Structure 1
């Protein structure tokens, strides 16, 4: 529908309800002359008189009355929809679509969802796990979760974690066969499990920290995967030395299925952030999710 016609119809209904141009102008916060101009423009556009008006009275014509009879249900329906939107804005309900890389999905988001689900039973979470870089606007996600170095431009970001600790590990069976590396230089004679970046396809260069300095190097790799849980499982199977999230390896270190090696040499990953478009008006459901994930 022509936008001017629709706004004119709203003005027409308001004038009839108020019983005068002055009363409608006061409700709408505009001048009576502006209302009169809008009403005349509507009648010209439609080619029919809708109001009989004198200096003392105002009433719809027969055509105007017939139009109002059809118009009011439609306007009431629009009011109902706007009321529902108000409810969505004020009460957490509906779906939140999240795109996160696997470390954040498994070790940050998932552990916080049970409480969130209890607090907001009318909100559903649609969590897509993707270690590549995703255009969350084009893919219609409400938000993404990445390390702060991988955030898209023109986004609002909220930190949801401390820096993530890493640890170098191997299985006892591997160490029995190949010995225990004590420093990065020793890895030249070892078998290593490496990660392939989903977006670029490049094999990740291993990083090390020592005395406050950070270095990276290529290592001899005999197993490559783009899934961090497969990396852990490969280490458990004795395929080689691996670098894992501490949260990912902790239970296996306690059980003895994995052993920490090169202690103090593992780096940390930057904190994770939720990011979302600055121009998008967040729903109450998304605001609730954001607060549930926020820990700072």
Structure 2
């Protein structure tokens, strides 16, 4: 005679014994009372032990049924707890989040988020590639990128991250003492400027607003760099005038090592965006980052 029984049968017996009712136990489990009664008779036959006393008005555990129930209840509770923990673990984002981020975005908006984000999601590993080019994030296996909005392809989903970023025109007091202070953007053409070259090879044109209209200038200069920190240092050394992110130059301006120029001509601020391809299944790690960014933005 086989005494094997599965967990569902034992759980069903536990329900009948706890409720002392086939009907209540059946309602709890979503089955019919007659099906549950037949299942219990089959269980008793396999075990060779009567587990339930039945009358037309009641169902109560036998002595053997009470003994089995006393053993089953903590065991079933342990199983339920283990399954709950497993399900909860699956709901907590786990894995690696790969981001392709421009160097300014990495410094200005991503780096300040890393510590709080990784504290909030300790099971997420972040892999960040600083890249000023417009890489194909899909082809290179990245989950998302971070760039200025105007540089993004139209088929990308974009979510703003961090505060809008402005550019400033700056120079060291020693440079301005030697060469004078430009009063309009066009006067930059007579000055020594520190150029910026994109990874694509194109030189960046400095941007201003002239009576509400955008103005873009190709400025002259003997020094061309790709990194804002180097541009700021070159400007502080008196080499020339630089056009850099305001947030990166703010401390040097406050300390008097740099002076901000052409304040009335400053262009409008731009925002960085997390962007990723339009697809139905967004990785849980990226969902977590987007939710985190949105929550901080709403605070």
TM-score (norm 2): 0.66
* Cα contact 1:194–1:242 (8 A) shared by 2: yes
- 2:95 match: 94
Which has the larger Rg? 2
Secondary structure of the structure 2 residue equivalent to 1:163: strand
Deviation of 1:257 (Å): 1.0
Contact 2:189 2:219 in 1 (8 A): yes
Question: Which residue is 1:224 aligned to?
Answer: 224
Q: Distance in 1 between matches of 2:270 and 2:255?
A: 28
Match of 2:169 in 1: 168
**1:263 to 1:95, Cα distance in 2 relative to 1, 3 A:** same
Deviations for 1:113-135, whole angstroms, at most 9, x for unmatched residues?
11112211221211111111110
1:15-43 deviation line (CA, Å, top 9, x unaligned): xxxxxxxxxxxxxxxxxxxxxxxxxxxxx
Moved runs in structure 1, 4+ residues, more than 6 A?
A: 85-88
- Show the counterpart of 2:207: 207
Q: Equivalent residue of 1:252, what SS?
A: helix
Following TM superposition, by how much is the alpha carbon of 1:269 offset from its aligned partner in structure 2, in angstroms? 4.5
CA RMSD after TM alignment: 2.3
State the Cα distance separating 1:88 from its structure 2 match: 7.3
TM-score (norm 1): 0.67
C-alpha distance in 1 between matches for 2:206 and 2:235: 16
Matches within 5 A, 1:189-268: 189-199=190-200, 201-268=201-268
Q: Quick one: higher RCO (CA 8 Å, sep 6+), 1 or 2?
A: 1
| CA shift for structure 1 position 210 | 2.7
Change (3 A) 1:183 1:174: same
Query: What is the total number of aligned residue pairs between the two structures?
Result: 214
In structure 2, relative to structure 1, the CA distance for the partners of 1:152 and 1:242 (3 Å cut) is: same
The answer to whether the 8 A contact 1:89-1:284 is kept is no
Does the 8 A contact of 1:145 with 1:272 survive in 2?
Answer: yes
1:228-256 deviation digits (Å, cap 9, x = unpaired): 22111211211111111111111111111
Give, in whole Å, the separation in 1 of the partners of 2:87 and 2:275.
24
* Inter-partner Cα distance in structure 2 for 1:256 and 1:148: 32
**Contact 1:88/1:284, CA 8 A, preserved across alignment:** no
Q: Describe the superposition over 1:75-96 as per-residue Cα deviations: whole angstroms up to 9, x where unpaired.
A: xxxxxxxxxx977762122211
**Is the Cα contact below 8 Å between 1:109 and 1:293 reproduced in 2?**
no
Deviation at 1:176, TM superposition (A): 1.7
Aligned counterpart, 2:291: 291
